[in-house]
Amino acid sequence: MSILINDGRIALRIVFHSMLTILCLVQVAAAGDPPFDREIQHSGTPSLPSRILLRDIDATDSSHDFGHSLPLNTDKSSRHVLSTARLPSQAAQDNFLLDSVPGDDSSGSTGTDSPDAVFSSRPKRSMRPKFNFGGEWLAEASNVELKSFDAGLKLPTYPVFGPPPPIINIGVSYTDLAAPRAMALPGELFDYSFGAAWMRPINDRWMLRLMLNAGIATDGENTTSDMWQFRGGFFAMYRRNPQWSWMFGVLALGRNDLPVVPAAGAIWTPSPRLRLDLILPRPRISVLLNQQGDRQHWAYLGTGFSGGTWAYQRVGGLNDQLTYKDWRAVLGWELVPARSPGAAFGSGQRIGMEVGYVFSREFEFDSGLPDVEIGDTWMLQAKMSF
């Protein structure tokens, strides 16, 4: 118990000090920014692999929005809003970290309304809960096969400090692990999470995002304090112009191998049909294939890592912790709502499919047992949100 508490304190301490550093930098930078119209469009998106690409920074749906978008002070007839992105997906444990605030264009905003006006005119739509479901299959390799399924709910709360409101995140994930009996691995792994996320605009260029989450990851047999995890993150997003946005921050994943990782990079949109999320730990290139009415087909190519840590009980009743990790290169397709002029994203159902090559796979044990390497394999993933 003491070890878990100490690890959690260390992770939260790193996130806290990173928050203070980022806040200081944002305040200094924001003070020097020229005045802009106070018109901020908020957005949100879900995404998949539980996986961060952390299952992963999802980075995000084809709405690809990693949070809110910050419109620049341009002529209203040609106002363009660039949404920030989220990294491609990773494990249910990491999903909540990368999911954006729910709310496709549910606000009904045109990109020229203030957040308060948007919320006042569409309070019911702005407060609707958002659901997401996903599944992933990793083909058998080295006699090991993995299947996982996850579901999540994003529930807006009352906007005490003004729109956008804080979001309550609830998630559950189930992983089926088929492996030889000699490996003595658990056959089932469960993950339950509860947390909150909040985005706050500083001005028309700067946006802050905070995420805090508590999780339970276990095989159902090991119910000691080892199953508890502390996860979270803090980011600052800066929109320089319609083509470039920057993001930097830190993520606490709750994993034994990667308790805390930096997340930083840029988002470049050279044209309405091309978007490059040059963000670590999950870079991604997205291309608009086709638009049919109010629906858009996007294809993307990305890479990143995935995995998670679970408490489990070994044969003989000894408690241990298991960490699975891998790297992957993925090719995906998404069908998403079209964005109206000036809007950060469109509202409605999102559907996606992803195929990828998974490599550098490994199981690690907290007890000091030898690591188990697994052969490369292929993966297939599907996701839906509404």
In tens, the pLDDT along 53-65 reads 343 344 333 333 3
**Average pLDDT of the segment spanning 356-376:** 96
Look at residue 87 and tell me whether its pLDDT is greater than 80.
Answer: no
**Average pLDDT of the segment spanning 271-290:** 94
pLDDT at 324: 97
Q: Write the pLDDT tens digit of every residue in 295-336.
A: 999 999 999 999 999 999 998 899 999 999 999 999 999 999
Cβ atoms of residues 229 and 309 within 8 Å: yes
Tell me, what amino acid is at 25?
L
For the ranges 76-90, 158-172, 193-207, 319-333, the lowest mean pLDDT is seen at: 76-90
For the ranges 153-157, 175-179, 191-195, the lowest mean pLDDT is seen at: 153-157
Structure tokens at 231: 């996860």
Cβ atoms of residues 221 and 313 within 8 Å: yes
Helix (H, G, I), strand (E, B) or coil at 23: helix
Angle (CA) 348-60-94 rounded to 5° is 120
pLDDT at 218: 97
Q: How far apart are CA 323 and CA 141, in angstroms?
A: 18
Look at residue 374 and tell me whether its pLDDT is greater than 90.
Answer: yes
- Mean per-residue pLDDT over the chain, rounded: 75
Residue 261: how many CB atoms within 10 A of its CB?
Answer: 17
Cβ atoms of residues 311 and 229 within 8 Å: no
For the CA atoms of 329, 335, 338, 342, the dihedral, rounded to the nearest 10 degrees, stands at -30
Structure tokens at 208: 């802050």
- Alpha-carbon separation of residue 18 from 47, 88, 238, 279 (angstroms): 26, 23, 16, 18
Cβ atoms of residues 59 and 86 within 8 Å: yes
- pTM above the 0.85 mark? no
Torsional class of 305: left (φ above 0), alpha (ψ -120 to 50), beta (otherwise):
beta
pLDDT band at 124 (very low <50, low <70, confident <90, very high): low
Look at residue 232 and tell me whether its pLDDT is greater than 60.
Answer: yes
Exposure string of 192-217, with b = 16+ CB inside 10 Å and e = fewer, is ebebbbbbebbbbbbbbbbbbbebbb
**Average pLDDT of the segment spanning 163-182:** 94
Phi/psi of residue 63, each to 5°?
-70, -20
For the ranges 63-72, 182-191, 251-260, the lowest mean pLDDT is seen at: 63-72
Look at residue 30 and tell me whether its pLDDT is greater than 80.
Answer: no
pLDDT at 293: 85
pLDDT at 55: 37
Look at residue 176 and tell me whether its pLDDT is greater than 90.
Answer: yes
pLDDT at 78: 33
Q: How far apart are CA 268 and CA 187, in angstroms?
A: 43
Tell me, what amino acid is at 65?
D
